[in-house]
Chain A
């Protein structure tokens, strides 16, 4: 058995050859090699800098710089204009929706008026029944005393909204819980930021926005509920919603308030008609 051949001492940084190579020899080794070859052949160590090849390459490099700079800047500019264009489109479409909603409300008041005119001539009971149904389904604007619950995102120091995590933002879930608790405590009609809730009103999340009746809302979220002013606040405080609001404030810094109001007026819903559903056993 022979002794193992002595191995050369390892450099302490042998595992980082890639890094040391990069840091210690930044110049392309090709230059030194080409120079050594020329020197060995008896030529000069360096070729002239002013050759056509170098000039052409220099032009190419300059072109590359200029093209990159202009392209990147143009890209930024066009992204800005696209953004502005989208924002203006959103705003104009929203204005159209508002306008049409107002038109629908006008037509609905007209229908209500015509209906009561037509019914006024006949039976009185029918007219009252119609009105009661319209209130329950949310088809007409109503007013009365009640409760106003306000939820707002946690205030931020700067103008930009807090990034990503969603901490301190009001979620659609928060609104369901409050709305369900209000129904539970005897509310008769509810609207969120002027969107009247009916049996066909979804409250849902789309991206960052809360949609009620398919309309995006922006904070603060004001939930107005009409109900018995004596019973509603106390009943609401006892439901899950009352405790939930407090925990939202304590844990996430969401600003909430619950206030009684003597007079609340809620708009009628713009969309209560049904197309396909018919009474069982009946025909359309």
Chain B
């Protein structure tokens, strides 16, 4: 409950304040969103599996975002930023889908 409220609060703060993101940071936003989604669904699944750990959740979120951003940065420097972004999205996308499938099995037994 509290994490859901936190998420909502974060979204509200972002919408109300509309902070300016520096232009060099903007290419990393979509990747960061995907990485955050992966961490969120991983966390929800861990809760349902009964093995949730707050430190692992926080560290997985931070490391996901940082590593994804690093890969994209490296790709930009090498001139294959778009391809590496696609790679990151595919890998994290697969993980999100299988985590969501597992959550679905827990919730609906189907």
Contacts and interface: CB of A to CB of B under 8 A. Distances in A.
Interface in A197-246: none
Determine chain A's interface SS by DSSP, over half rule: helix
A62 B2 contact: no
A61 B36 contact: yes
Interface in B1-34: 1-15, 18-19, 21, 26, 29-30, 32-33
Nearest to A58: B6
Interface of B: 1-15, 18-19, 21, 26, 29-30, 32-33, 36, 39-40, 42-43, 45-47, 49-61, 65, 91, 94-95, 98-99, 102
Contacts of B39: 61
Interface in A2-53: 22-23, 26-28, 30-32, 34-35, 38, 45-51, 53
B32 to A, nearest CB: 6
Given A62-B13, A72-B29, 20 more contacts: A26-B42, A27-B45, A34-B53, A34-B55, A35-B51, A46-B50, A46-B51, A47-B55, A49-B47, A50-B2, A53-B57, A54-B2, A57-B6, A62-B7, A64-B33, A66-B12, A67-B21, A67-B29, A68-B30, A68-B32
Given A58-B10, A72-B29, A31 B49 contact: yes
B10 A27 contact: no
A31 B29 contact: no
A59 interface: yes
A70 interface: yes
Contacts of A176: none
14 contacts: A30-B56, A35-B51, A53-B57, A54-B43, A54-B57, A55-B6, A57-B3, A58-B5, A58-B7, A62-B13, A63-B14, A64-B33, A66-B10, A66-B13
B54 A30 contact: no
Contact of A66 (B1, B15, B56): B15
Is the interface on chain A under 10, 10 to 19, 20 to 34, or 35 or more residues?
A: 35 or more
B13 A26 contact: no
A17 to B, nearest CB: 14
A27 B32 contact: no
Contacts of B7: 58-59, 61-62, 65
A23 B101 CA distance: 12
Nearest to A53: B54
Contacts of B33: 64-65, 68
Most buried by A among B47, B56, B58: B56
B56 A63 contact: no
The 6 A-B residue pairs whose C-beta atoms are closest, nearest first, are A62-B10, A66-B14, A58-B6, A35-B51, A26-B98, A50-B2
A28 B32 contact: no
A9 B24 CA distance: 50
A72 B107 CA distance: 33
Contacts of B52: 31, 46-47, 49
Contacts of B94: 22-23, 26
